[in-house]
Amino acid sequence: MNQPNPAARSRTRRFLLQALYQAQLTGDDFDAVIDPFVADHNMKRADIDYFREVLKGIQDELETIRNLITARLDRGYEELDPIEKAILLIGTYELQSRIDIPYKVVINEAVELAKSFGATESFKYVNSVLDALAIDLRQTER
C-alpha cells in the first residue's frame, strides 16, 4: 500500500478548507462542491482521492460530526466562524474516520490551518476542541 505524501495531504487540507468555506457561503452540500472545485483549481500536487473522500465523508456523517464538535464548544455551533467550522469539520472527520493518521498530526495540521487562515487566536480554540475530541475518539492512541 502506498504511503500518502505528507506535503500533498497538507495541500489537500488547504483545498478542503477552501471547499468547505465555499459550500458554507453558497449553502451547497459539501459533497456537491467536489467536482466544480476540482475543475476550477490546480490540484496537481494534492491528493484528489483524499479530497473527495473527506468531503463525501463529512457530508455523509455531518450530523454525527456536528454533534461531536458541539459537545466540546463553549458556544453554539452556528456561532463558529466559517473558517473555524471548516477546520473543525476536517479535524473531527479525521479523528473519527481516519485512525491511520495519528491524532497529533490531525491536531497539528488543523492548528496550522487556523494560524494561516483563521482569526488571530482561533488556533488555540481549534486546538482545545480537537484535543478534547481526541481524548474521546482516540483513547487507545493516547
Spatial separation of the C-alpha atoms in residues 136 and 142, rounded to whole Å:
10
Tell me which long-range contacts 62-67 makes (C-beta under 8 A, separation of at least 24). Answer: 62/30, 64/96, 65/89, 65/92, 65/93, 65/96
Provide the whole-model pTM: 0.95
For 6-137, CATH gives 1.10.940.10
Contact 13, 113 (CB under 8 A): yes
pLDDT tens for each residue of the chain, 142 residues long: 456 788 899 999 999 999 999 999 999 999 899 999 999 999 989 999 999 999 999 999 999 999 999 999 999 999 999 999 999 999 999 999 999 999 999 999 999 999 999 999 999 999 999 999 999 999 887 6
